[in-house]
Every structure is written in structure tokens, then in C-alpha cells.
Amino acid sequence: MEALDNLYNGVIFPKGDLAPSEYFTGKAWVKILVPNDEVLNTAVGNVVFEPGARNNWHTHPGGQILIVTHGTGYYQEAGKPIQLLQAGDVVNIQPEIKHWHGASPESEFTHIAISTNTQTGIVDWLEPVTDEEYNSFK
């Protein structure tokens, strides 16, 4: 019945568990859809960010793909301007690219995160995104 309620409300997956505050500013929830698979070398999760929430700067040794399913969010690679993301957008993140992603100030934001080539590692967390960096969207 919960699955039907979610579907009627436009929600595909349940929110999952609260993301660790040491790696996120604001509240975000992570629902693991595919735990790290040692044959496919892939892990998949659904991440829901409240407005203004974002993750820390980080890298993925094997790369990552983001598929935006709801809301409006931001994606930024180090040294580049913030990109606005909306439902239907797909971001291919090459291995070892320093980046962050999260919700815009006024919108909840949801994406499916696919970690690829996980035999090389899944994620290396770095420093938090400052308010100045977050608010630099033009």
C-alpha cells in the first residue's frame, strides 16, 4: 500500500535514511537501491535533498552518473560555475573529478546516483561546500 501511496504522490522510492551530517549540509536522505555489486562493479542510490541541502565536495574513483528525477538542483565541478539541474537531466561525472551536488534554495531535489567502476572505490569525501560557493549560482 505504501508503494501505491508513493506513486500517487509522484514519489518513486521511499526517502530512505538520513544522510550523515559529516558529509552533508542540511537534510538529505539516501535509499540504497543496489548495494555495491562486486560482479557489476556498480552501486545505485536514490538521494532526496531538502531545499538548500547539499553534499560536501567529493570525488568518485570510478566515476558517477546522476539522473535527476524531481525538483531543481545544483551541480558544480571545482573551478567551474554551478550548473542548474532539473528533472530529466543526466550528469556524467568522470573519475576523480572534484564536485558537489544538491538542492537549489527553493526546491526539494531528487536524483538517482550510480557509482561506476566501484572496484576502484566508491567515494572520497572532502571539505564542505561553503555558503559563498553555494550562493555563487548566476
d(CA 98, CA 76): 9
Q: Tell me the mean pLDDT in the region 86-108.
A: 98
How confident is the model at residue 12, as a pLDDT?
83
Kindly report the pTM of this predicted structure.
0.91
121-138 pLDDT per residue, tens: 999 999 999 999 999 998
10-40 pLDDT per residue, tens: 678 989 999 999 999 999 999 999 999 989 9
Q: Tell me how long the chain is.
A: 138
d(CA 100, CA 109): 14
